């Protein structure tokens, strides 16, 4: 079974500064996907960024980037130029790769990190 | 187009009553997932539907929980004889699932409170 660990329950950052959220995972799988989702107070889970394990290059999406260390099973999220709208709960998630779609692919989530951006 | 929608947004019920939670996936998405988000257990997978295949029910916590998906679209999660520990936010997600790892898009959830 896979597990995902987010060791930072809460973090704060000043507006315009950079913050890094940590995530580690445990799996015996070689092919998998990793995600960061954001959940603001509205409860809507929003995909922030996605990383395929077979890709060595770290994924980036505008101000969001990841540091994916496959050997260390680490997947941290860096938010640059933090904005007030980034305030939310952030979840790291793991998805096993299945060759056949009908086998399904549940997401395994970490406990989440509450990020507060201060003005 | 429209995102995943869920209803009701909030539901308060008395212990022992049955509840039904509804999910409308994004049009064209063939895969549908239910997750539960609670203070004590975090985010947990409940059940997965994909096309005409048998659903993956491996995450359902007890036989009081069931779900169906009619016509390959709308899904209903039913909790019978609700207990206080069922209080949680129930999230639905859908994806194209053309390949097994398509991104899942979430609805806003239903907050269930069992008194």
Q: Following DSSP, what letter does each residue of B17-31 receive, concatenated?
A: --EEEEEEPPTT--E
The residue of chain A with its CA nearest to that of B106 is A45
Neighbours of B28 (CB within 10 A): 9
Across the interface, of B42, B100, B109, the residue whose CB is closest to A105 is B100
Looking at every residue in chain B, the average pLDDT score rounds to 91
pLDDT in tens, A95-109: 987 765 555 578 999
Please give the average per-residue pLDDT across B30-37, as a whole number: 93
The confidence score (pLDDT) of residue A104 equals: 59
With a pLDDT cut of 90, the percent of chain B lying above it is 70
H/E/C letters for each residue in B45-101?
EEEEEECCCCCECCCCCCCCEEEEECCCCCEEEEECCCCHHHCEEEEEEEECCCCCC
Size of interface A-B (CB pairs under 8 A): 68
The confidence score (pLDDT) of residue B102 equals: 76
Instruction: Find residues 28-47 of chain A whose CB sits inside 8 Å of chain B.
Output: 33, 35, 37, 42-47
pLDDT in tens, A61-115: 999 999 999 999 999 999 999 999 999 999 999 998 776 555 557 899 999 999 9
What distance, in Å, lies between the first and last C-alpha atoms of chain B? 37
Rama region for A112: left / alpha / beta (φ>0; ψ in -120 to 50; rest): left
Higher model confidence: residue A2 or residue B62?
Answer: B62
Residues whose CB is less than 8 angstroms from the CB of residue B21 and which lie 6 or more positions away in sequence, other chains included = B6, B7, B8, B11, B76, B77, B78, B79, B90, B110, B112
Please give the average per-residue pLDDT across B50-73, as a whole number: 89
């Amino acid at each position: 079974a896979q597990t995902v660990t987010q060791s930072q329950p809460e973090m704060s950052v000043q507006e315009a500064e950079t913050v890094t959220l940590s995530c580690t995972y445990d799996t015996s799988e070689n092919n998998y996907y990793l995600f960061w989702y954001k959940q603001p107070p509205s409860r809507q889970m929003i995909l922030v960024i996605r990383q395929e394990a077979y890709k060595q290059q770290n994924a980036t999406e505008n101000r969001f980037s990841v540091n994916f260390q496959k050997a260390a099973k680490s997947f941290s999220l860096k938010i640059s130029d933090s904005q007030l709208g980034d305030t939310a709960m952030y979840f790291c998630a793991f998805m096993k790769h299945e060759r056949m779609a009908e086998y399904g692919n549940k997401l395994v989530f970490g406990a989440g990190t509450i990020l507060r951006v201060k003005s | 187009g429209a995102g995943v929608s869920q209803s009701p947004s909030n539901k308060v019920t008395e212990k022992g009553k049955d509840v039904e939670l509804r999910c409308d996936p994004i049009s064209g998405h063939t895969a549908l997932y239910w997750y539960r988000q609670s203070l004590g257990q975090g985010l947990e997978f409940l059940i997965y539907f994909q096309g005409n295949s048998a659903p993956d029910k491996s995450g359902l916590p007890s036989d009081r929980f069931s779900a169906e998906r009619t016509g390959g679209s709308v899904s209903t999660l039913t909790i019978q004889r609700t207990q206080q520990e069922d209080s949680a936010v129930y999230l639905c997600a859908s994806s194209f699932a053309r390949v097994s790892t398509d991104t899942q898009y979430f609805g806003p959830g239903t907050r269930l409170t069992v008194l």
